[in-house]
């Protein structure tokens, strides 16, 4: 489903479910092999795959721990982390290409999430590698299976560690919800929701940073608007989310009963893929120039890249805050930064879910040490 209006309609329609165990006959009947590389996206039981009352319960419990004040408290740490990442970039020669996806877009979100979840340093690199594999839709069956298994082992290790030694972090807060009254949150739901929060919050934010940097460097006129104060970093973030949705497609949803949408009947039990990326470029909303990056576009906030309706992204305030801080810091510190290859040579990731680049080679140029 690709049109903005149709997607909005489907995302708020109670006859559309995300729970394969209840509403996808092919899954229930065992027709879908557990070895299918994307099976983990369907089998995982957390709020994003929950339906109706189950979803309300899980979302409410996670929201109890993942509060706006917790995000607001992270602001200083996000600024500190960004500063440290930029310091380490500034130690590199400015005239040798550096892959900013790897050394900036990955590092900031992974360190912010490590802070949010209280992830010990010993687990950080392992988790980063697992998440990269999770979004690789070209992975072999065996790779996807091993990766899924390793994700559970690692998250269980995190939970065991935090049970023994709780902290001020989100993991400990969710464990407290679970241990306070086990009837509200099962152990599997606890681990699955941690996996959800971590996976949903990582690669998507990496892509947002990667895409924003690539777009600004490929469109110097747009960057100049921001530098002159004629557009804000917030506008860059929203326009990037619109034109390059970090999660291009959302899998899967299921028709609880026969649905008629835009003159087409979706039979009960059929799976649906929602294309957030296509919605962001719908000419009916954004005009004939919908494909262009324009930070002053009147409709820049009118995207569905954080979803819509009951499953609207719980981490949107964190992602927006983090992207504004990180992008402002990067472009202030390296005022002469430019792409090291022509924009058309930037290669997309091999994934129809994760929308970013395989590498983002740039020349940092001279450092502006006095500002950030
Ligand atoms: C640019 C960054 C991000 C993007 C583009 C994004 C996108 C999305 C989208 C499209 C959905 C809806 C999924 C659906 O309806 O099936 C969603 C849900 C969710 N996101 Fe994000 N997300 C981002 C960052 C984050 C962060 C930083 C976190 C937390 C650390 C997070 C946590 C969640 C959670 C928990 C849900 C599930 C909400 C529910 O099912 O009720 N996201 N996100």
DSSP assignment of 104-119 = IITHHHHHHHHHHHT-
Residue 234 in any domain: the answer is: yes
- Residue 137's pLDDT is 66
Q: Which of 189, 278, 306, 313 to mutate to test the pocket of ligand 1 (most atoms within 8 A of CB)?
A: 313
- Residue 159's pLDDT is 95
334 SS3 class = coil
CATH number of the domain enclosing 291: 1.10.630.10
Residue 332 in any domain: the answer is: yes
Residue 368 in any domain: the answer is: no
The answer to whether residues 5 and 284 touch, using CB atoms and an 8 Å cutoff, is yes
- Residue 292's pLDDT is 98
Q: What is the DSSP string of 239-287?
A: HHHHHS-SB-EEEEEEESS-EEETTEEE-TT-EEEEEHHHHTT-HHHH-
- Residue 40's pLDDT is 80
- Residue 135's pLDDT is 66
**What is the distance between the alpha carbons of residues 366 and 94, in angstroms, rounded to a whole number?**
6
Residue 25 in any domain: the answer is: yes
- Residue 249's pLDDT is 96
| Ligand 1 atom at shortest distance from the alpha carbon of 113 | 30
Say how many Å lie between the CA of residue 335 and the centre of ligand 1.
32
For 2, residues 6+ apart whose C-beta sits below 8 A from its C-beta are: 275, 278, 279, 282
- Residue 370's pLDDT is 63
| Residue of minimum CA distance from atom 43 in ligand 1 | 313
| Ligand 1 atom at shortest distance from the alpha carbon of 318 | 27
- Which H/E stretch holds residue 362? strand 361-363
Residue 371 in any domain: the answer is: no
- Residue 371's pLDDT is 54
Residue 211 in any domain: the answer is: yes
Q: Look up the domain containing 83 and give its range.
A: 4-363
- Residue 274's pLDDT is 95
Residue 372 in any domain: the answer is: no
Residues within a 6 A CB radius of ligand 1: 47-48, 59, 196-197, 200-201, 204-205, 208, 246-247, 250, 276, 305-307, 311, 313-315, 318-319
| Residue of minimum CA distance from atom 37 in ligand 1 | 48
- The total domain count for the chain is 1
Q: Which of 315, 320, 322, 356 to mutate to test the pocket of ligand 1 (most atoms within 8 A of CB)?
A: 315
Say how many Å lie between the CA of residue 41 and the centre of ligand 1.
14
| Residue of minimum CA distance from atom 41 in ligand 1 | 311
- Which H/E stretch holds residue 98? strand 98-99
Q: What's the burial of 270, exposed, middle or buried (CB within 10 Å: 0-12/13-18/19+)?
A: middle
Residue 201 in any domain: the answer is: yes
| Ligand 1 atom at shortest distance from the alpha carbon of 59 | 41
- Residue 300's pLDDT is 98
| Ligand 1 atom at shortest distance from the alpha carbon of 245 | 5
The CA-atom distances, in angstroms, between 160 and each of 87, 89, 126, 182, 262 are 34, 35, 17, 16, 49
Say how many Å lie between the CA of residue 338 and the centre of ligand 1.
30
What are the residue ranges in the chain where pLDDT is below 70? 1, 135-137, 182, 369-372
**What is the distance between the alpha carbons of residues 253 and 10, in angstroms, rounded to a whole number?**
9
- Residue 195's pLDDT is 87
The answer to whether residues 18 and 270 touch, using CB atoms and an 8 Å cutoff, is no
């Amino acid at each position: 489903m690709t049109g903005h209006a149709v997607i909005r309609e489907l995302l708020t329609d109670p006859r559309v479910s995300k729970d394969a165990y209840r509403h996808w006959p092919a899954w229930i009947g065992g027709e879908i092999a557990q070895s299918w590389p994307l099976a983990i996206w369907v089998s995982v039981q957390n709020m994003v795959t929950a339906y109706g009352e189950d979803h309300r319960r899980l979302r409410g419990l996670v929201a109890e721990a993942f509060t706006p004040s917790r995000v607001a408290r992270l602001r200083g740490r996000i600024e500190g982390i960004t500063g440290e990442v930029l310091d380490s970039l500034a130690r590199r020669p400015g005239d040798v290409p550096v892959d900013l996806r790897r050394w900036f877009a990955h590092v900031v979100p992974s360190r912010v999430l490590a802070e949010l979840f209280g992830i010990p340093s010993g687990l950080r690199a392992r988790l980063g590698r697992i998440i990269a594999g999770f979004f690789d839709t070209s992975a072999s069956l065996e790779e996807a299976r091993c990766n899924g298994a390793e994700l559970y082992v690692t998250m269980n290790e995190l939970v065991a560690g935090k049970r023994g030694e709780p902290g001020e972090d989100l993991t400990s807060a969710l464990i407290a919800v679970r241990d306070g009254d086990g009837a509200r949150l099962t152990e599997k739901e606890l681990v699955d929701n941690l996996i959800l929060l971590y996976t949903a919050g990582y690669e998507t934010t990496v892509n947002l940073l990667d895409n924003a940097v690539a777009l600004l460097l490929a469109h110097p006129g747009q960057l100049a608007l921001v530098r002159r104060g004629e557009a804000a970093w917030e506008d860059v973030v929203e326009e990037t989310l619109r034109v390059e949705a970090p999660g291009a497609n959302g899998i899967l949803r299921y028709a609880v009963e026969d649905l008629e949408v835009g003159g087409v009947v979706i039979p009960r039990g059929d799976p649906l893929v929602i294309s957030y990326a296509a919605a962001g470029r719908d000419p009916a909303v954004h005009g004939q120039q919908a494909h262009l990056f324009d930070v002053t576009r009147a409709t820049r906030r009118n995207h569905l890249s954080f979803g819509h309706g009951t499953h609207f992204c719980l981490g949107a305030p964190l992602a927006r805050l983090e992207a504004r801080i990180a992008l402002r810091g990067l472009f202030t510190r390296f005022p002469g930064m430019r792409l090291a290859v022509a924009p058309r040579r930037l290669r997309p990731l091999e994934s129809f879910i994760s929308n970013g680049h395989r590498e983002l080679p740039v020349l940092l140029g001279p450092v502006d040490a006095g500002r950030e």
